[in-house]
Amino acid sequence: MKQLFAFIQKEFYHVFRDKRTLLILFGMPVVQILLFGFALNSEVKNIGVAVLDNARDAASQQLISRISSSRYFHLMEPLLSYDEVENRFRSGKISCVIILPSRFGNLLYQDEGAPIQIIADASDPNTATTVNHYLNTILQQHVQEMNAVLPAAFNIIIETRHLYNEEQNGSLNFIPGVIALIFMIVSTALTSVAVVREKESGTMEVLLVSPFKPFMVLIAKAIPYLVLSLIDFIVILLLALFLLDVAIKGSLLLIFVESLLFIITCLSLGLLISNVTNSQQAAMMLSMAGMMLPTILLTGFMFPLENMPGFFQVLSYAVPSKYYYSIIKTVMLKGLGIAYVWKETLVLVGMSAILLSLALKRFNIRLS
Amino acid sequence: MGTEMDKVIVCRNLTKQYGNFKAVDSINFEVNAGEIFGFLGANGAGKTTAMRVLCGLSYPTSGEAWVAGFNVYHQQEQIKKHIGYMSQKFSLYENLTVWENIQFYGGIYGVPHAEIRKRGRELIVSLGLEKEMKKLVGELPLGWKQKLAFSVAIFHQPRIVFLDEPTGGVDPLTRRQFWELIYEAAAGGITVFVTTHYMDEAEYCNRICVLVDGRVEALDTPSKLKSIFNASSMEEVFYQLARGAKRKSD
């Protein structure tokens, strides 16, 4: 136990004396939160929209003024015919076209409802998705309000629904993503580099010759980064709470336990990477390409998975951060409990067990 | 020389095989307590492999060996407690201070805290590093690092210290000063097992074991070896032996 303590103490000396490590540890979370929270906000405002109103009746005018009053949309010059749609999109001034059918006012009161066509510029799929969400919300609100004052119910056909984060507040969704990313950097990349550094400097050899057990070497290497990951986790939560006014809806304890589990997954991965590489650069590259890139690309936190080719959607199931992201989003933003995330939790437990046993096994093979 | 009890290392037909390749081929030797035992061989002759087995880092394929009285097959943990180890990479942490390095290595060998402080201070004084105690090891000159690394390797007072080409990359004068430390340790009862390819170093050893293609080709005192091979220096002895090597050095 005393040996372990001496080792962990030494590990902290390494961390606090390396400026680069410190910068990554404490600069990165703050910068990322600020970056995603303010600069890279996925919220879209002042979307240019043009309407092709084939009805020109009271109901259609009402709807159009409703849309134009939204701060998200900026109503452009109306379209006169369908042929203009293509050209207007090409002009780059609009991202969305709304087409109202003729006799819109009459269709509203029929059982099938009045069809509205929304055409969004999907060259930027994220914006297109957002625009679609916003419009749907506005249309739905419109229907609800009108139904409240009108004697006969009317109906607009809208298929999409989104229940959570109605305002599409961009700053909410990225927080679980940033936490996952930071864990990947601290627990996977920094840990693997710290182990490989000892191999490079020759001190690993000395440790292995000492009575300190190889298994304990790995544990002692991992514990400091576990602690540091948790500190980063708390920093991010505090920033989210006080700087971005994010309300944490679910159980803090559950969020903490799930994060601890994911940190263990990341640490196991880091130890495995350190076993298969012999240089710090290789370990860094493997952590970056192998783990951070998939975390950014395949968890759905920056780019919607639904818009990706099937191959990548399947591939995403192998990425641990996908499950963690989904867990934290569910618990933190939706306020749901373990009953809704137990499957993802089990996947993470399984992944950790496999990765850790692989890491230990390889470590022992290297010894004999 | 001494009784059976004085044998600190005993190898009997020790063999380490990788597939069909016999890295160490049935070697036999004994090392006496307090002796400085030199292990000579070209790169790829099997020096490091044999040393790894003796340090408890890998299991032999066949044969027997005891280190400090413990069996290399099933008493590796005991062996590790009684040996010290230093490689050519010096094995100190560059971004830890001199004192922190001493504390750390004392700590992982389970030396009691009070003992670490007491002996640590004595060590600092004897090496003349009082002013550098709180300096990072990375800032020390190579020769000092080396001496410190050796002192740290024997800090827990092991019975044997294994030195794997410990003086790589330093000039002959520093090497000489380093050997004074080795003599001091040997005089204090620590057995020194050293691999080297510097022939001036070989002359400093009590006995030399020359390994060629994984086999012990010669084993005696430097002066005896020179007279047997009718050579004026160890270099010549080594050259005559190594000429017969079939393995290419890498």
> Looking at the predicted structure, is the pLDDT value of residue A180 above 60?
yes
Q: Do A368 and B104 touch (CB under 8 A)?
A: no
Q: Which residues of A touch B103 (CB under 8 A)?
A: 6
The whole-number pLDDT of residue A350 equals 96
Sequence letter at residue A21: T
Say which DSSP state A75 is in. E
Q: How many residue pairs from chains A and B have C-beta atoms closer than 8 A?
A: 78
The per-residue pLDDT for range A215-224, each reduced to its tens digit, is 888 889 999 9
The first and second tokens of residue B218, run together, are 């010669």
Q: Do A210 and B94 touch (CB under 8 A)?
A: no
> What is the SS3 assignment for chain B?
CCCHHHEEEEEEEEEEEECCEEEEEEEEEEEECCCEEEEEECCCCCHHHHHHHHCCCCCCCEEEEEECCEECCCCHHHHHHHEEEEECCCCCCCCCEHHHHHHHHHHHCCCCHHHHHHHHHHHHHHHCCHHHCCCEHHHCCHHHHHHHHHHHHCCCCCCEEEEECCCCCCCHHHHHHHHHHHHHHHHCCCEEEEEECCHHHHHHCCEEEEEECCEEEEEECHHHHHHHCCCCCHHHHHHHHHCCCCCCCC
CATH of A47-162, one of 2.40.30.60, 3.40.1710.10, 3.40.50.2000, 3.20.20.70: 3.40.1710.10
Q: Do A211 and B162 touch (CB under 8 A)?
A: no
Separation in Å, CA of A175 to nearest CA in chain B: 35
What residues 111-130 of chain B have any CB closer than 8 A to a CB of chain A? 113
Q: Which residues of B touch A7 (CB under 8 A)?
A: 104, 107-108
> Looking at the predicted structure, is the pLDDT value of residue A72 above 50?
yes
CB-nearest partner of B55 from A3, A209, A212: A209
The whole-number pLDDT of residue A163 equals 37
* B4 close contact with A: CB closer than 8 A: no
> Looking at the predicted structure, is the pLDDT value of residue A4 above 50?
yes
Q: How many CB atoms lie within 10 A of CB B208?
A: 23
> Looking at the predicted structure, is the pLDDT value of residue A166 above 70?
no
B133 belongs to a structural domain: no
Q: Do A209 and B58 touch (CB under 8 A)?
A: no
pLDDT above 90 covers what percent of chain B?
A: 52
B64 belongs to a structural domain: yes
Q: Which residues of A touch B85 (CB under 8 A)?
A: 205-206, 209-210
B79 belongs to a structural domain: yes
The per-residue pLDDT for range B31-42, each reduced to its tens digit, is 999 999 999 888
Closest-CA residue of B relative to A213 is B77
Q: How would residue A89 be classed by pLDDT, with cut points 50, 70 and 90?
A: confident
B99 belongs to a structural domain: no
CB-nearest partner of B96 from A13, A208, A211: A13
The per-residue pLDDT for range B146-196, each reduced to its tens digit, is 899 999 999 999 999 999 888 877 788 888 888 999 999 999 999 999 998
Instruction: Mark out chain A residues that contact chain B at CB-CB < 8 A.
Output: 2-3, 5-7, 9-10, 13-14, 17-18, 201-203, 205-212, 367-368
| Domain range list for chain A | 1-40+170-362, 47-162
d(C-alpha B47, C-alpha B52), whole Å: 9
Which CATH number covers residue B163?
A: 3.40.50.300
Overall number of domains in chain B: 1
Q: Do A367 and B104 touch (CB under 8 A)?
A: no
Residue A291 three-state SS = helix
Q: Do B59 and A368 touch (CB under 8 A)?
A: yes
B136 belongs to a structural domain: no
| More confident of the two residues A44 and A279 | A279
Residues of chain B short of pLDDT 70, as ranges, are 1-5, 90, 246-250
The whole-number pLDDT of residue A152 equals 57
* Cα angle for residues A50, A52, A55 (degrees, 5° grid): 140
Domain that holds residue B168: 2-8+24-91+159-242
Q: How would residue A155 be classed by pLDDT, with cut points 50, 70 and 90?
A: low
The per-residue pLDDT for range B62-73, each reduced to its tens digit, is 999 999 999 999
